[in-house]
Amino acid sequence: MEARDPELQKELDATLQARRELGPEYESALIESFLEKVDQRLDSAVDRRVRRQLAEQQMVVARGGAKPAHGGRGFGERFGFGAISLVLAIPLSAIGAVNADTPGLVISWIGIVGVNAVHAARGWPWMQRRAREKSDWED
């Protein structure tokens, strides 16, 4: 395995070494601690990317370019939702796998994919038209 982030690889190695030394009774705490470090690392990477994208959009607007037409849902919202769901997928996957093995992992990922699919469907033109139509229940 080629490590993209040598510091994170060192953290993983230290966590595994601590698990060997402390035994399985501390495994949950060690995993949680490592996942928090991964979560922090992902958050900082997402923040940097979102800031860079917002700066690029501001430059386009400042130069007189058109604003993106996403129906009020720009890149930041879509990317942020996707990134947050992936960050939350880490502990949800761990919880599902620990409590129910492979079926728990599969069920947690079905839920994650479902939530992202519903969020993505909000941007589809036929969904926007449907939301604008008056409901049968309204007077």
* Tens of pLDDT, residues 37-90: 888 888 888 889 989 988 888 888 888 765 554 445 566 777 788 888 888 888
* Residue among 59, 81, 84 at smallest CA distance from 70: 81
Which pLDDT score, from 0 to 100, does residue 70 have? 47
Sorted by where each begins, the domain ranges of the chain are: 1-67, 70-134
Res 128 pLDDT > 70: no
* Residue among 86, 1, 80, 5 at smallest CA distance from 39: 86
Which pLDDT score, from 0 to 100, does residue 120 have? 78
Which pLDDT score, from 0 to 100, does residue 96 have? 86
Which pLDDT score, from 0 to 100, does residue 6 have? 84
- Cα torsion angle, 66, 118, 40, 20, sign: negative
Residue where the block lists tokens 């038209």: 129
